[in-house]
Amino acid sequence: MAEKEIDYFPLEIGRYRIYEVTETQYAVGADPQVLTYTQKELITGKYTNAKEQDVYQIERSVVNETGTGVVNQVLNVWKSEQRVVVHEEGISRVVLEFPVKKDLIWDGNRYNLLGEQAFEITVMETPFSTTKETFPLSLTVIQQNDSTLVSLQKSKEVYAASLGLVQKEQKNLRYCSTPDCVGKGIIESGFTKISTLISYGK
């Protein structure tokens, strides 16, 4: 596997990434509730599984104003010459397939029982900018993009070369469906969540 092909998901003990996360919750008859917080992901160790693959452990924590945080989730990640698999909250998903290329499609639910879900690389080797930094090479994976007059389910991840995940966007919305408002995109319930990289290192 060429170096460029594995650059988008580097795994090394001691690496960390810090994200600014904004969540917006919608409920019928209530104002949207917006929550913003800082989340840290740290690669703390690795072990060898039954298939003799190196599995990396990533601790995820919410960071408080003093810069400390309590670990509230542990992810397991393994990478082969064919793919990257992330095990999170009891579910394994194939987040990248190799060799990476534009328009590549694969089943993100290959290793779980949720049913086939097409993941697709829609943008490849282009710059991606946040408010903090511009990353010269990135790729975008659309994990879900289902839209109707009454609902929207969308999940998108952006990876930067030599760094990994720099932004994740999730939307799960239900729109007003009564005759006077259907098709107008008036949010009735659901949530949006966007996580954007603000710091990283080792």
The string of pLDDT tens digits covering residues 29-43 is 899 999 999 999 999
Q: How confident is the model at residue 68 (pLDDT cuts 50, 70, 90)?
A: confident
- Which residue is listed with tokens 């239900």? 174
User: Which amino acid type is present at position 37?
Assistant: Y
Question: Which whole number is the average pLDDT over 111-125?
Answer: 96
CA dist., res. 184 & res. 134, Å (int): 35
Cα 159 from Cα 10, distance rounded (Å) = 10
Question: What pTM did the predictor assign?
Answer: 0.92
Mean model confidence pLDDT for the chain: 94
The amino acid occupying position 32 is P
Q: What is the pLDDT of residues 11-61, one digit of tens each?
A: 999 999 999 999 999 999 899 999 999 999 999 999 999 989 999 999 999
- Residue range 100-126: average pLDDT? 97
Domain 3-201, CATH: 2.40.360
Element housing 140 (H / E): strand 134-147
Give me the percent of the chain exceeding a pLDDT of 70: 97
**Is it the case that residue 1 has pLDDT exceeding 50?**
no
Contact 61, 75 (CB under 8 A): no
Give the pLDDT of residue 2.
40
